[in-house]
Structure 1
Amino acid sequence: MRVARASPSVSHLLFADDSLIPANDRQQIKNTLGIQNEGGMGSYLGIPEDISGSKCKLFAFLKEKLLHRVNGWTGRWLSKGGKEVLIKSILLALLTYVMSSFLLPLEICENLAAAIAQFWWSLNPSKRGIHWAKWEKMCAPREEGGIGFRMIHEFNLALLAKQLWRLVQFPESLVARVLRGKYYRLSLPLRAGAVDSPSYVWTSIIAARKLLLLDIRSKVHSGYEINVWEDPWIPLTPARPARSRVPVVNPKMTVSSLINFESKEWDARLLEQYVDQEDIPMIQSLA
C-alpha cells in the first residue's frame, strides 16, 4: 500500500499481527472466516487510532491517566524527594510516547502541568496545598533555583523536533521516504511548504521546525545542497542565511557557486558582488 504515488509501498508493519490489508482482501478474509465485526477506531499502543475532531477531547485521556497514577500515590505521604523522583521518572514518562508523535493543545498541557503541580505542593491527600512558586520557576534548572521539572509544551516540541531531525539525518529510512513522497517530494524536511490536508502527525512534526532551526546550521562541504539565501549556514547563534548586497537575482543560488573549486577557496570576487559586506568575514572563516 502507498500513502502517495511517490512514497514507497508498505507491505507490513512491525508485528506479525499488525498488517495493512486492502479493502477487497479484507472483505474476502471476513467472508471466508465468517468474521462479522471489525476492530479499530480505538487505541493502538496507547495512542488513539482516529485523530479527527477536537484535539482537546481526543487527548483528555492523558490527564485521566496521569490523575489515576497520582491518586494511587497521594495516600503514601511521600517526601519531596520521593515526589520529585516519581514526577521525573514516571509521570512525565507517561506522556512521552504520545508527545513524540502529536502536538498537544495548550489547554491539555496546562491541565497536565496543573495536575503535576497539585501533586507536588499538596501536603497530604486531603489538602490542596499552597503553591509557593510559579510552575515555570519549578521547571528551571537547579543552578537557576528550580527543581528541573519539564515544561509540558516545550517538552512536547522538543520531542517532535527530535522526530524532524531524524528525517534530516536518516533520509533513506522507511518513515522518511514515506513522508517525503507525501509532503516534500522535491524539497527537504526543513524546507517543506504548506500542503493540502496534511495528517495531524505531519502538522505536529512541522510545528517543531522553528525550534529546530534555532540551534542548527548547515555544514558547507561542497555547498551543492545549500541555498545561499534560504538555508541557515552563516555561523551565528542562531544561524541564518546570507544577506544579499543587491536585490537577489538568483533566488536558487547555492553556496557551491561561491566557491572556486580549483583553488578550494571562496571566490572573493563573487562574495563582493553578491553578499552583504558584514557576512563576508564570517563566510571566509568557514575554511
Structure 2
Amino acid sequence: MRIVEVGDNTMYLGFPNMLGRNKNSLLNFLKSKVEARIQCWDGSVITQGGKEVLIKSVAQTLPSYAMSVFLLPMEVSKDIERSFLESTRGNNSSYIWRSIWESRYVLRAGLRWVIGSENDISILGQPWVGDDVNPYVLTDPMHLTNYPIANLFECNKREWDVEVVKDMFDSRDQGGILNTKIGGADIHDHLYWCKENLGIYSVRSVYRLLQFQKGLWNVQDNNSLWRKIW
C-alpha cells in the first residue's frame, strides 16, 4: 500500500514518536513551539488585546494538548512559566510592559528564596545567599552555571558541605552561604519579600526601600510616626 515506515525521531499528531530517558530535552519542543508562536507576532499588525487573546487561545493550548498524553517534567513547566525576573523587555513592547519591566530592580532588592525540598534553585543568578545587602553569589566559577544549590549539600544530607563551599567560593560568599538556613523537606522552594516580617510584598516597604537606597531614610526615624502615615 506504499505506506512509508517513519523513523524514531519523527512526530505524529504533534508529538514525538519515541521518548528516551532524557524527557526534558525531548519535551523541550513545547517550549520551542510556544516561543516560535509568540515571536512571529512581534512584527505583525496585532493590537495588544489581540495578542492577549492569541496567547490565551493558542500558546496556552499547546502545553495543555501535550499534558493530555504526557506527564510533563517540572523543568519543562518551569521554563514555560518562567519567572518575571528573568524576562526580557522585547524589541516592540508596549509602554505598559516597559513600565512593569523597569520595576524588576526593586523586586530584586527585596526578594529572597526559601530553600525547601526541591533544591533546584540555581547557584548563580538567584537571590538566596544570607546577605542583607547582596543576596547573590559573587564568585563566578564557570562550571557551576545552571547547577542547583543541592550540589553544595553533603551527600544524602540537608546540610552545607563546608569543604566544598570553602574550596569553590571567596570569603564573602563562604560566610553568606554557610549562614543561609536550609528549610525542612516539608517546605517548598519559594520566593518571599524580606522587607516585611510576614514575607508579603507591601507598598509601604517598597517606598521605604527606595528612600533608603536614595539615602533619604534614617533607620533611627520614628517608627510609630511611620506606621501612622501608612
TM-score category of the 2 structures, normalised to the smaller one = 0.3 to 0.5
Give the TM-score of the pair, scaled to structure 2: 0.41
Greater RCO, 1 or 2 (C-alpha within 8 Å, sep 6+): 2
Task: Answer with 1 or 2: which has the greater Rg.
Answer: 1
